[in-house]
Structure 1
Amino acid sequence: MGSKWRKMKLALGLNLCVFVPRTLEDSSPLPDCDSTERFSDAALLSPAHWGSSRPSTPTPSSHGLTFSKSGSKFSKQTCSICLTKLKQGGGLAIFTAECSHSFHFHCVVSNVKHGNQICPVCRAQWKEIPVQGPSLDPPPGRASVGPAGWNQNNALMTVVRRLPPPRRDLSRRLIVPLCQAPEPGVFDDDESLGNQTICAESSCNKNSADGDSTKIIQMKTYPEISAAPKSKSYDDFTVLVHLKAAASVRRQNCTGNQATLPQFSRTPRAPVDLVTVLDISGSMAGTKLALLKRAMGFVIQNLSSCDRLSVIAFSSTARRLFPLRRMTDTGRQQALQAVNSLVANGGTNIAEGLRKGAKIMEDRREKNAVSSIILLSDGQDTYTVSGSGVNQPQPNYQLLLPLSMHAKDESGFQIPVHSFGFGADHDASSMHSISEISGGTFSFIETEAVIQDAFAQCIGGLLSVVVQELQVAIECVHANIHLGSLKAGSYPSRLMVGGRTGFIDVGDLYADEERDFLVSVNVPVEPSGNSTPLLRVRCVYRDPITKQTTTLESDEVRIERPDMGGEPGVISVEVDRQCNRLQAAEAMAQARIAAEQGDLAGAVAILEKCRMVLSQTVSAKSHDRLCVALDAELKEMQERMASRHVYEASGRAYILSGLSSHSWQRATARGDSTDSSSLVQSYQTPSMLEMLTRSQATFLSSPAAQRLVQPLLSCGSQPKPR
């Protein structure tokens, strides 16, 4: 009887999950069959579903996961861990598990080493697992390293031991894997950078970094009016400082490889050290974890060999899956295997995951030019408490997080954390707080199906940094002029004693990114001159590729001073537009405070009043695109405050993601899409849009992903109130 059931399971392959009757050979029950776990996570990660994935990476059969007879064929011919073909001979041993699915032996050993004791294909719990024996020299003429890069010895590839029952630690609410390898005390085992200081993946890019570095930033200034009568003075006169980073030097891939998708532009750029901190608590089980793995697969495939990646998985505790490793072909395969080994279980300890992620950045021996952490969670932090724990239920991450994550760290070492909260149960306030402290952005993912798009938009920016350590200095020129305020959102700013000079610390800029800052000054009466000099702006920044520091100065900002009977100049649409943006952001912040105090009607009234005021401005009357988008965004927030339930489920997170986007002037994912409004698009850069387009095209091209996500799109997510 048992052998017949084994044959049936093998024949079914990936098609469905079946309940197997208990026999004398099988004394333990199989895990429950969840319809969301019927799909192979390894197949979801497969580059075969991604259109024009990197041609240098080994890929499985192009038929991939089809949920028919081809799925069984895929399972038989392909190792579902490393996604390469199963082939007898050639020094590679094949391990057939008790559930009848076959894998490379060294892949299974690696999977088990990461704590996974579940079949990646059918999700059956293994009672017997393979272990790697002591290392011996390989036979002459045989390779000792498999395609995934792990040492192996074919003479000892048949070692199998009985797995003891899992030990449950009730105090930590986590099933502790007995075979998990201990982590080092210091994470200084990062892979060496070698001589790669520039990411240029095509030989035709070797000279593309040449050019005048002073053209990396364009700077413009706009006074609120171009002329003021000599007899008129102003206590609060506004000057707009506009900065725009140059576009990357774009070169087409000259390998001659033509793919179905548009080729992603090959351009010299600064390499990235990226640490992803991923929530694998029990609430992530099923479709969420499968789609998260696919999103991580997209990230892994789009990093270059000069980029390094490490992954932290956290639930009740946190563990590092692998050290900072270059995403070469071997590195990508190893990263895919580690991500595929993840199993959802336990509680949610966000702070512990972040501490471990920061430790990786702090302990590394070498550093790439760009460093960042991506945090994703769908739940409340169930382990982190602060203060009394009763009067202050929200964790104080300002005190809990390492100094290296603080945006105002005096050492100058800062790790921005781009946080992603999705679903109705995540702690939007804490996630937003983490991103604000560190200088990162907070994104709200309402539907699990867009996790990959949200990640794609984020890394599209990180892989295009052209300016670092940017600081803007504003100096008064006229002897009687003093600075009143610097409106810079979340960017640190300060006025020096006397009010004659001010500074704004901007940090990194992506290619084509823009920043707008409003400076308030007083303008005195001008009895004699025909013009009044106001300000001079200076930018100091570092080129992440050449490491050179450059200073760029603007011309003097002046306004004309006509005779006593003259009329004021025309109001600048550019200044008026940015004033509207700041006014809308202030209204969002006030509405959020009112909503948190339980006054939803008052919050809606604040937003409505702001919409009325903005509609009467010069830029709104000229149908300015930003003003139209601001009105649409404020209206959306009003609708998400229709009731307490709606606000708790999506309104709070939507407002916080909007505040994050405005305060950093950087694109965030909001609601159920990354491009649901023209306002989001106004902050997106071409690099973000290009990576987002790639993500959407590859996702839609995968039949497996379509079948997996279709139930979510039809009935799995809560619709927005209208």
Structure 2
Amino acid sequence: MEGEAAADPCAICLSDVGRGQAIFRAECSHVFHHLCISASVAAIRRPPPSARPSPSHGPVVRRPPPPPAMPSSSHGPYDDDEPVVVEPSVEAAQDVDPAADHAVVALRTHCERPALARGASRGSFEVLVHAVAPGAAAAGAPRTPLDLVTVIDLNGSMRGQKLCLVKQAVGFVIDNLGPTDRLSVVSFSNDANRVVRLARMTADGKASAKRAVEALVASGGTNIGEGLRMAARVLDDRRYRNTVTSVTSLILLSDGRDGHRRHRHADLVPPSFRGSGNRTAPIHTFGFGTDHDAAAMHTVAEETGGTFSFVENRAAIQDSFAQCIGGLLSVAMQSVRIAVACVHPGVRVLGVKSGRYKNRVDADRRAAWVDVGELYADEERRFLVFVRVPAAEAAEEVSQLIKVRCSYRDAVSGCSGCVAGDDAAVLRPPEVGDGDAELSMEVERERVRVAATEDIAAARAAAERGEHAEAARILEAGQEAVRRSAPGKGRAAMLAGMSSHRQQRDLSVALRSAHFGLRGGRGAGRGAPRPYETPAMRSMVKISRSAREQQQRTSSPAPPAKRAHLRFAE
């Protein structure tokens, strides 16, 4: 230390060093205030904030918004989400009269036969209830904003090309979200990290999200449960929620097997996502490659109302994400419920085949309902209702069996509505002719689909119990189908097909017709019709393929110049 003045300023605080001040002169000739040196040493020795004891009481201080990368799964509440923005056209739509002439759910019924003999009764008569959501709005029309959390597996096997492909797929999702949509990114391996807070996808938001995704590095194991728990907290802790309408969803992608599951696959689902009454959002799961835990991914999707897709090749990752986003960005109706009521005093509802959708039959069997939830634009749902039909009275020419109604909330305007479908009725002639005995193809097609789905589920359960002979008796394909249900690509394909059929929603574009005949017969081409695929899904997949082809054209190196062949004269 020196007590005399120095000509140079303090190298820490940059203020002048005056006479009489305690200073320190280093060997490099730099001069420091003694107090500046002491403060710097104390700061270096001070423990980090996470290691300091927290006070047991005192005022709560709100943290400033965190940086894009958020390490540590022990972080506090994720209440730093960006405020939602409602477009003026959406706010104006709230004033629309629900009874006004606007697009509604179309509801129809089909009886298995057009007529029953007047003196005959049927212990189980099938009626198909068919609901169709209105079509997609015109380009530029207001739509429901989306809150989306993508949950990405970063275990060690994701290194290299796999992670590169996932980054491209997430980048495509970011590109196709709008400024009213919000996105958060969560990554996980042994632990979980929130990589991007729930932020609006404005130009700046997209750029920030892409930088964070590009910085992801794969290492460690697979802890699906921790990744989903953090994603749930991102949604549960939101400060801002759209008070008009909103769509919320999770996308989970994993190529590995969870190494931290304790009891059942269902335990991977966060508590706030369990149960139909307080479900936060559906989780759409994507199993990448043949080594992922297909049973776990299928269970997570089933428990939350999402779909499980099996992605078996490189090109399918972005297309699968595109298909999912195309649906989420085209939600037309929410809180959809179909109600059935008996009209004829002797008719009783025996049961409803509704796949994954919850249904209930009243104790007196005079009414029933099915909770459908969300419907994408142009999406359809078909449910079989089984009723008991009594013999008709002597003068009864027509028996009114059931009437159906559909209640819903318009996803854009937030208005609630209810629409009635045509009543299901059968003719009651004294005798039934050949024409009146013909089966309805609509009902028969749905009956065969439901039976096939149940057979697939039964065969899968038998195969996983090791009862291959029983599984072979269930499926027409015999031993080949049993082998396909073993762990690997066949098992994942089977579970993905079950998820698609039970929810009546399209699955990953990676699957081919040979797995389930979902695109018609074997060998169906790439452009063949796909069940449950909506126009919005097809459009987004087309955009995905176009973008990928454009990227390949711009990134492919120029062809090498032709080598000149020299010829020497003899």
Q: TM-score range by the shorter chain?
A: 0.7 to 0.9
654-663 or 524-533: which moved more? Answer: 524-533
Distance 1:281 1:197 in 2: 44
| CA shift for structure 1 position 450 | 1.2
Q: Equivalent residue of 2:352, what SS? A: strand
1:350 to partner: Cα distance? 0.2
Q: 2:443 maps to what in 1?
A: 575
Moved over 6 A (4+): 197-200, 673-676, 704-708
C-alpha displacement at 1:445, in angstroms? 0.7
Look up the SS of the partner of 2:258 in the other structure: coil
The change in CA–CA distance for 1:503 and 1:214 in structure 2 (over 3 A counts) is: farther
Structure 1 position 684 matched with structure 2 position 526 = no
Checking the alignment, whether the CA contact within 8 Å between 1:450 and 1:672 is kept in structure 2 is no
Q: What residue number does 1:72 align with?
A: none
SS at match of 2:487: helix
Residues 309 and 522 from structure 1, CA distance in 2 versus in 1: closer, same or farther, beyond 3 angstroms?
A: same
CA contact (8 A) 1:214 1:552 kept: no
Is this contact kept in 2: 1:284–1:378, CA < 8 A?
yes
TM-aligned CA deviation for residue 366 of structure 1: 1.9
> Could you tell me whether the CA contact under 8 Å between 1:270 and 1:465 is conserved in 2?
yes
Aligned counterpart, 1:362: 236
Q: Which residue of 1 aligns with 2:272?
A: 404
Distance 1:454 1:705 in 2: 23
Q: Deviations over 1:291-337 (max 9, x none)?
A: 00000000000000010000000000001012110000000000000
| Residue number in structure 2 paired with 1:486 | 352
Q: CA deviation at 1:409?
A: 3.5
Do residues 317 (structure 1) and 194 (structure 2) align? no
Deviation at 1:232, TM superposition (A): 1.0
* Aligned match of 1:606: 474
User: 1:588 and 2:443 equivalent?
Assistant: no
Residue equivalent to 2:549: 700
Q: Secondary structure at the match of 1:357?
A: helix
Structure 1 counterpart of 2:118, from 207, 230, 244: 230
1:654 maps to a residue whose letter is A
1:383 counterpart residue number: 260
The correspondence of residues 16-165 of structure 1 with structure 2, limited to 5 A, is none
Describe the superposition over 1:538-594 as per-residue Cα deviations: whole angstroms up to 9, x where unpaired.
111001211111011123211110014655432111000100110110111111112
> Which structure 2 residues correspond to residues 217-616 of structure 1 after superposition, within 5 A?
217-251=105-139, 266-368=140-242, 369-386=246-263, 395-397=264-266, 399-406=267-274, 408-411=275-278, 413-528=279-394, 529-564=396-431, 566=433, 568-600=436-468, 602-608=470-476
Aligned equivalents of 2:484 and 2:345: distance in 1?
A: 55
Amino acid aligned to 2:82? E
* Residue of structure 2 aligned with 1:186, choices 50, 59, 77: 77
Is 1:418–1:441's contact at 8 Å kept on the other side of the alignment? yes
Partner of 1:598: helix, strand, or coil? coil
Given residue 241 of structure 1, which amino acid in structure 2 is its aligned partner?
V
Tell me: CA distance 1:642–1:199, structure 2 relative to 1, closer, same or farther (3 Å): farther
Instruction: Give, in angstroms, the shift of residue 639 of structure 1.
Output: 4.7
- The 1:416–1:284 alpha-carbon spacing in structure 2 relative to 1, beyond 3 Å, is same
**Comparing 210-219 and 503-512, the one that deviates more:** 210-219
Amino acid of the structure 2 residue aligned with 1:362: D
Asked if structure 1 preserves the Cα contact closer than 8 Å seen for 2:462 and 2:471, the reply is yes
- Please say if residues 600 and 641 of structure 1, whose CA atoms lie closer than 8 Å, have aligned partners that are also in contact: yes
CA drift at 1:449: 2.9
Larger radius of gyration: 2
Cα distance in 2 for residues equivalent to 1:487 and 1:217: 20
The 8 Å contact of residues 230 and 562 in structure 1, kept in 2 or not, is answered as yes
Contact 1:700 1:706 in 2 (8 A): no
Give the Cα–Cα distance (whole angstroms) in 2 for the partners of residues 197 and 355 of structure 1.
35
User: CA 1:271–1:359 in 2, change beyond 3 Å: closer, same or farther?
Assistant: same
AA at the equivalent of 2:129: V
For the residue of structure 2 that corresponds to 1:420, the secondary structure is strand
Q: Deviations over 1:187-226 (max 9, x none)?
A: 11110013337689xxxx999x999565321111001111
Amino acid across the alignment from 2:247: V
Q: Is the 8 A contact 2:130 2:383 kept in 1?
A: yes
Moved more, 664-673 or 491-500: 664-673
Letter aligned with residue 430 of structure 2: D
| Alpha-carbon spacing, 1:444–1:400, altered in 2? closer, same or farther (3 Å) | closer
Once the 2 structures are TM-superposed, how far is the Cα of residue 356 of structure 1 from its aligned partner? 0.8
Do the aligned partners of 1:214 and 1:550 also contact (CA within 8 Å) in 2?
no
Structure 1 counterpart SS, 2:333: strand
Provide the C-alpha distance between the structure 1 equivalents of 2:393 and 2:501, rounded to a whole number of angstroms: 40
Write the letter of the residue equivalent to 1:698.
A
Structure 2 counterpart of 1:468, one-letter code: Q
> What displacement does 1:601 show?
5.1
For 2:502, give the aligned amino acid: S
Partner of 1:391: none
Taking the aligned partners of 1:275 and 1:378, their CA distance within structure 2 comes to: 18
Q: Name the SS for the 2:326 alignment partner.
A: helix
Report how far residue 417 of structure 1 moved.
0.3
Evaluate the alpha carbon distance shift between residue 694 and residue 671 of structure 1 in structure 2; reply closer, same or farther with a 3 A threshold. closer
Aligned-partner Cα distance in 2 for 1:701–1:565: 62
Cα offset, 1:248, TM superposition: 1.5
Flag the 1:707–1:232 CA change in 2: closer, same or farther, 3 A: farther
Report how many aligned residue pairs link the two structures.
473
- Tell me the secondary structure at the aligned position of residue 135 of structure 2: coil
CA displacement at 1:698 relative to structure 2: 1.2
Q: Between the two proteins, what is the percent identity of the paired residues? A: 41
What does the per-residue CA deviation read over 1:495-541, in whole Å, with 9 as the maximum and x for residues that have no partner?
Answer: 11111111100000000000000000011000221011100101110
Query: What one-letter code is carried by the residue in structure 2 that aligns with 1:351?
Result: G
Could you say if the C-alpha distance between residues 289 and 505 of structure 1 is closer, same or farther in structure 2, counting changes exceeding 3 Å?
same
Q: Which has the higher contact order (CA 8 A, sep 6+)?
A: 2
- Which blocks of at least 5 consecutive residues in structure 1 are unaligned? 1-132, 135-178, 252-265, 387-394, 609-634, 709-722
Following superposition, the deviation at residue 184 of structure 1 comes to 4.1
Distance 1:186 1:539, change over 3 A: same
| SS in structure 2 of the partner of residue 334 of structure 1 | helix
Q: Is the 8 A contact 1:197 1:270 kept in 2?
A: no
Distance in 2 of aligned mates of 1:521 and 1:558? 12
| Code of the aligned partner of 1:245 | A
Asked whether the equivalents of residues 244 and 513 of structure 1 are also in contact (C-alpha less than 8 Å), the reply is: yes
User: 1:326, 1:589 → 2: CA distance?
Assistant: 41
Q: 1:361 to 1:599 in 2, by over 3 A?
A: same
Scaled by the length of structure 1, the TM-score of the pair is 0.62
**Change over 3 Å in CA distance of 1:193–1:519 after alignment to 2:** same
Letter of the 1:402 counterpart:
P
Q: Is the 8 A contact 1:477 1:535 kept in 2?
A: yes
Q: How far 1:699 sits from its partner (Å)?
A: 1.0
User: CA RMSD for the aligned pairs?
Assistant: 2.8
Distance 1:451 1:213, change over 3 A: farther
Contact residue 273 and residue 367 of structure 1 kept, 8 A: no
Give the partner amino acid of 1:224.
E
Aligned to 2:57: none
Give the TM-score normalised by the residue count of structure 2: 0.78
Stretch deviating more after TM superposition (242-251 or 515-524): 242-251
Stretches of structure 2 that go unaligned for 5 or more consecutive residues are: 1-11, 14-68, 521-528, 558-570
How far, CA to CA, are the matches of 1:214 and 1:664 in structure 2? 27
| Cα distance change, pair 286–639 in 1 and its aligned pair in 2 (3 A) | farther
Does the CA contact (< 8 Å) of 1:658 and 1:670 recur in 2? no
